Copies of this chain bind each other. A is one copy, B any other.
Amino acid sequence: MIRFNCDYSEGAHEKVLEKLIATNREQTQGYGVDPYSMEAKKLIKRLCGREDADVHFLVGGTQANLTVISAGLRPHQGVVAADTGHIHVHETGAVEACGHKILALPSKDGKITAGQIEDCCRAHREDVDREHTVQPKMVYISQSTELGTIYSKEELAEISSVCRENDLLLFMDGARLGYALAAPDNTLTFQDLACFCDVFYIGGTKVGALFGEAVVISHPLLKEDFRYLIKQKGGMLAKGRLLGLQFLALFEDGLYMEISRYADRLAGQLREAFREAGIPFLVENTTNQLFPVLPDKVLEEWKGRYSFAYQQRVDEEHSAVRFCTSWATRQEDVDVLIEDIRKIWEELEKEEM
């Protein structure tokens, strides 16, 4: 069985692991104020071109999402997000459990637009009964999105601008940020993110680390007392250096982007193979997640050989599924799958004859 169902099937990149091994018996202070965490934070701030930013390492994505959102909102305020957004559909109501409504906007491709956000704010502002409704105060976007698409620099700039005009905080979930920034059509840099967003995070769990996300905060309101919130929400690791060390390994010599590009390249090979076989996609994208629409009988046949994630039924004989590559995907496994994709094509050809 070869796993393509997600990008967290393996452990960590060897360089990350080595760092943990090399420092294992050292004694450092707990809770993320050790020298390694400090060093990793410095690296990330430099990369973002924001010495004034605050960087915090959290254990995982849901944790990061709920902590950031809690930190930024008053009780009557909500967070605007795509209806496909992870916080809306895949975190067991974590945001609501912190007291906040998600104001979901319809999305076909995982993205929302500046225009949608503007409309949402205007509708609220113009509603005479607005005090009876949740006040939009933060925007949550994912880069790459849950459907593997990415925001361009222009799109992000527009969203950022609408947010500032409407006094909304802009929060980017970067659980798969590496795969977005490494995409062939990417137009954004870390500096751009730190400039356009009030807060975003650099996902480690899915990009080479054992676990961990680096939250980068540039907005003063969110910076204040953020560590209290990390602790309260259960995300403050006693041995905080474990997170610092991993991000140090990922960022001290470009490993993060290197392995992200690798994963995107493998995804590209698969994308090409599906395309050549005439397989359409539920949504077009250029990152490490692919959503081919496949005949159910092919999926049935593949079940024993590959793991993939079921996405949705498309018609009576076809379903969209998700295949992911990651920093850990092996070229040889991709080659095996490409072979099988070609076979579909041949079979479908025959059937049509």
Contacts and interface: CB of A to CB of B under 8 A. Distances in A.
Interface string A97-116: 11111100000000000000
Nearest to A94: B232
Given A8-B30, A234-B60, A242 B211 contact: yes
Interface in A202-243: 205-206, 210-211, 225, 227-229, 231-239, 242
A11 B30 contact: no
Main DSSP-derived SS at the A contact region: loop
Given A211-B242, A238-B205, A238-B211, A232 B90 contact: no
Q: How many copies does the complex hold?
A: 4
Interface in A9-38: 9-12, 14, 17, 20-21, 23-31
Interface stretch (A74-82, A148-156, A269-277): A74-82
Most chain B C-beta atoms within 10 Å of own C-beta, residue among A30, A94, A96, A234: A234
Contacts of A14: 24
A265 to B, nearest CB: 19
A129 B90 CA distance: 8
Interface stretch (A62-70, A183-191, A250-258, A342-350): A62-70
Contact of A76 (B3, B101, B232): B232
